Structure 1
Amino acid sequence: MPSIKQARIAILATNGFEQSELEVPRDRLLEAGAEIHIVSPESGEITGWDKKDWGSSVTVDKALDAVNPNDYDALVLPGGQINPDLLRVEEKAVALVKAFADSGKPLAAICHAPWLLVEAGVAKGRRMTSYNSIATDVKNAGAEWEDSEVVEDGNIITSRNPGDLEAFSKAIIKAVENSGSQSQAAE
């Protein structure tokens, strides 16, 4: 994959995703030319959480049951408190996160979404950041937590909060493009 323009990226979310944490990366990735699929255990639409109340809905493009990690070049995990807490008890969601971590393809998690990395058992030995209220969870899972806008460790990208969304989105685009260069070099 030579560029972001040929990338297929999955965004895994359910009801209660933090509105901006799904929409900003989605919009930046679309603007860069990527194809985006919203993946969810639910079908139809899922509703976001916008700061202090329910927000807007987004259409689910693909059921979690129908997703094959090999069909995607990256996985993005929006946060919010509700979204990753519901997803981390979904066996297939955790398996998808683990598959991306193991694949070497970019896996990006913001805010509370590193809970999914913890649940998938992929935080240990990694440098990561997250929303400050789950820093202890991340550390207890064996990660080296740091208070930074964006932390990249191998194929895993983590970010703190909605104030870091532009840097988070740029890091995803860069990682997908670099991942494409590496896979081309391997061919």
Structure 2
Amino acid sequence: MSGDLTGRKVAFLVAAEGIEQVELTEPWKAVTDAGATPELVSVQSGQVQAFHHLDKADRFDVDRVVDDVSVDDYDGLVLPGGVANPDALRQNATAVRLVHDFFGHQRPVAAICHAPWTLVEADVVRGRTLTSYPSLATDLRNAGATWVDKEVVVDSGLVTSRNPNDLPAFNRKMVEEIGEGAHRAQARSA
């Protein structure tokens, strides 16, 4: 993995359950291997439940609750997918506000699979080009985005991918964008 993220902190924002496990663990490993400190931020304390598609997988300890964090605590944000995870996140006003704040503060954001649903709710996709799980294409277009069917798309600090098969490319670009730091154009959609 290219890129040095030594001294940087990256938030992984998730709901209480429904997180696609590999979309949490593989990016987590990528930022850790690059030298960053990841933190699992959730809507509740305790543990969150990950899934392998529709089957329960492992549980993960929450580091911090979304009510107690600020964009100023982090150098980047990762939004893992899973169908239920982003659907629950977009119903939490504090989580949505945090996502919006990352854009307003020009910080890199990486979202995979169904995670762009949270971006739609945060109203940060208008005028942006991104990808996602194909079933979100209409939602993203209706929110003002240009949707493309590609392995990974980078748009001024916003990294998106379609599904777990895209994780190698997603992880490379995520580490690269976080390593670059602030992206002035990121704020254009905030």
Indicate if the aligned counterparts of 1:11 and 1:76 stay in contact, CA closer than 8 A.
yes
Cα deviation, residue 60, structure 1: 0.3
For the residues of structure 2 that align with 1:144 and 1:181, how far apart are their CA atoms?
Answer: 19
Distance between the aligned counterparts of 1:180 and 1:101, measured in 2? Answer: 10
CA contact (8 A) 2:20 2:52 kept: yes
**AA matched with 1:176:** I
Give the conservation status (yes or no) of the 8 Å contact 1:13–1:77: yes
In structure 2, distance between residues paired with 1:181 and 1:173: 14
1:86 matched to 2:91? The reply is no
Aligned pairs, how many? 181
Please name the residue that 2:188 is paired with: none
Distance (whole Å) between structure 2 residues aligned to residue 29 and residue 48 of structure 1: 19
Contact 1:3-1:176 at 8 Å conserved across structures: no
Give yes or no for contact 2:151–2:166 (8 Å, CA) kept in 1. yes
CA distance in 2, matches of 1:100, 1:155: 10
Amino acid at match of 1:10: A
Alignment correspondent of 2:187? none
Q: Distance in 2 between matches of 1:60 and 1:163?
A: 26
Q: Displacement, 1:180?
A: 6.6
Letter in 2 for 1:160: R
Give the alignment's Cα RMSD to 1 decimal. Answer: 1.5
Name stretches of at least 5 consecutive residues in structure 2 with no aligned partner: 185-190
- Does the CA-based 8 Å contact 1:3-1:180 persist in structure 2? no
Q: Secondary structure at the match of 2:110?
A: strand
Deviations 1:76-115 (A, max 9, x none): 0001100000000000000000000111110111000000
Partner of 1:161: 163
Pair 1:141 & 2:143 matched? yes
**Counterpart for residue 56 of structure 2:** 54
Residues 122 and 181 of structure 1, relative CA distance in 2, 3 Å threshold: closer
TM-score, normalised with respect to structure 2: 0.92
Counterpart residue number, 1:6: 7
Residue 102 of structure 2 corresponds to residue 100 of structure 1: yes
Q: Which runs of 5+ in 1 are unaligned?
A: 183-187
- Alignment deviations for residues 122-174 of structure 1 (CA, whole Å, 9 cap, x no partner): 11100010000111101111100000111111121111100011111111110
- Divergent runs of 4+, >3 A: none
In structure 2, the partner of 1:185 is none
The share of aligned pairs that are identical, in percent, is 45
CA contact (8 A) 1:132 1:160 kept: yes
1:16/1:47 contact within 8 Å kept: yes
